[in-house]
Structure 1
C-alpha cells in the first residue's frame, strides 16, 4: 500500500511541477497556429519538462523513499559496538573519498546487500542490510561500504537521473512525431489529434521505452565497475574481491531490495542472456575479473 501511495504521490508531483513550469515559460501547446502540424521546438520543450521533472523529483525524494521502502533505521546515536564501528568506518571512508559523511542506516533484510542514494554527494544515505552485517567479515563489510561511498563520490545518482531525463525526453518526442505521422499521413486527419495519434503514440512510447531502458541499464552497469574500482582504492583490491565473492556465494538467495532501489544496491539477481540487457549490475564474475586485472 505504501509503495502505491509513493508512486501516486510522485506522479502527482511531476504533473504539478511540469504544469507550473510550462505555464511560467509561456507554453501554449506543440501544434502550429493552424492546429495541423507539430511545432517541433515547442514539442521538445514540452517533452523535456515532463521528461526531466520525473527523474529530478525522484532524485530529490530518493532518500526519503529509500528509508520508507526498505524500513531503513538511520543511526543517529550508535547504541552498540557494531553500530559504532559502522559509523566510524563510513566517516573514515568518506573523508578519504573527499565527501561529507552521509547518513548511515541499517535495513532489516536477510540478504546481503547495501545501497547509496541521495540528491547530491554531500547529502547522501548509505545503508547496509542486517544480513550483510551478520555474515560478512569486517574487511568485507568495509569493502561494501567503500563501494557505496564510491557511488556517492562519483555522483552516480545525479548522473543516472540526468541520463534518465534525457532518455524520457526523446522517447516522448519521437513517439509523438510517430503518432502525428500515423494520424496525418495514414488516417488523413486534417486538424488536431485523432484517436490514431494517441494509440500510435502509446505504442511508440512502449517500444522506444524498452529500447531506452537498455541504454540506461548499460550506463548503470558501467558505473558499477567504477564503484568497484573506488572500493578497491579505499578498502583494498583483495577486500573488494573478497566481498564480491561472498556476494557470489549468496547469489541464489532471493533478493529483497525494492525494484526502485535495485540499481543502487551492490548486487542484483541472476538473469538470462536476454534479460541481461536490462540488468542494472554486471555479472559478479565479470566484476571480480575486472578487479583482478586491475591488480
Structure 2
C-alpha cells in the first residue's frame, strides 16, 4: 500500500510538471538514497560502546541463544551511555541503554533484547529507514507541487497522497512493533518477562512525565526528557502492547495444551 501511494504521488507530479517534476524527483531520490546508505553504514555515535562476552556473559549468552533460535547471525551488542531506559536495533546490532539495567532484571532485559532481535529477524532494520526516507521524499514532492503547481486538483491529490502515506506509515510501523513482540515471545524462555518489562518501562515513563509536569518552571528535573505526542504515532501504547502480549501468550498456552 505504501508503495502504491508513493508511486501515485510521483506519477501525478511527473505527469503535471513534466521534465521539471522528473528531475526534481530523481534529484531528491538520489540525495535521500545517499543519506540512507550513509545512515546504515554509520549508525553508531560516541555514546555507544560495543560489549564483549567478558563484559556481560549472561547477556551475551542470552542474545546468542535467541539469535540462533531466530535463525539469524548473533547481533553485535552495544551499550548506550544514557540513563533513560531505551533499546533499538540497526543493521544486525542491538543497542541497550544503561538506564535499562537500572529498572529491569536480567529476564526483562533479555525480553527487550528479544524484541529488537525480532526487528532484525523481520527485516525492519532495513525497512524502517526506507519508509522514513520515503516520507521525506513524499513531503518534498508535496511541497514542490504547492510551490509550482497552479492546478487545484493536482494540489489536492498531492496533499491527500501525502496524508495517506502518513496514515499508512503510522499503522504499518505499529503492526511491525506488534510483530516484533510476537517474535520475541517465541524466543524468550519466559514469555511474560516481556509483559513485565513493558509494565516497568511504562511505570518509569509515567513517573518521568509526572515529575516533569510537577516541577517548578525554573527547575529541570534530572530525569526530564522532552515528551512529544505525535499526530501520527508510529509506536503502539504500552497498554496495547501488553494486551496483545497477554492474548498471544494465552493463545500459545492453548496451542501447547492442544498439541500436547
| Superposed displacement of residue 238, structure 1 | 1.1
| Superposed displacement of residue 108, structure 1 | 1.6
Task: Tell me how many residue pairs correspond in the alignment.
Answer: 218
Paired residues for 1:1-295 under 5 Å: 38-39=17-18, 43-44=21-22, 46-51=24-29, 53-54=31-32, 57-58=35-36, 60-62=38-40, 64-65=42-43, 67-68=44-45, 71-75=47-51, 77-80=52-55, 83-118=56-91, 124-182=92-150, 212-235=165-188, 236-252=190-206, 254=208, 275-294=229-248, 295=250
Distance 1:253 1:68 in 2: 28
SS of the residue aligned with 1:99?
A: coil
- Alpha-carbon contact 1:251-1:270 (below 8 Å) kept: no
| Superposed displacement of residue 100, structure 1 | 1.2
- Alpha-carbon contact 2:36-2:133 (below 8 Å) kept: no
Distance 1:212 1:237, change over 3 A: same
SS of the residue aligned with 2:112?
A: helix
Distance 1:137 1:248 in 2: 15
Distance 1:31 1:224 in 2: 35
Distance 1:246 1:31, change over 3 A: closer
Distance 1:97 1:269 in 2: 35
Distance 1:60 1:172 in 2: 20
- Alpha-carbon contact 2:142-2:162 (below 8 Å) kept: no
- Alpha-carbon contact 2:36-2:130 (below 8 Å) kept: no
Deviations 1:234-282 (A, max 9, x none): 1143111111111111113559xxxxxxxxxxxx9876xxx35333311
| Superposed displacement of residue 147, structure 1 | 0.3
Distance 1:103 1:249 in 2: 29
Gaps of 5+ in 1: 1-29, 119-123, 187-200, 256-267
Task: Return the TM-score normalized by structure 1.
Answer: 0.62
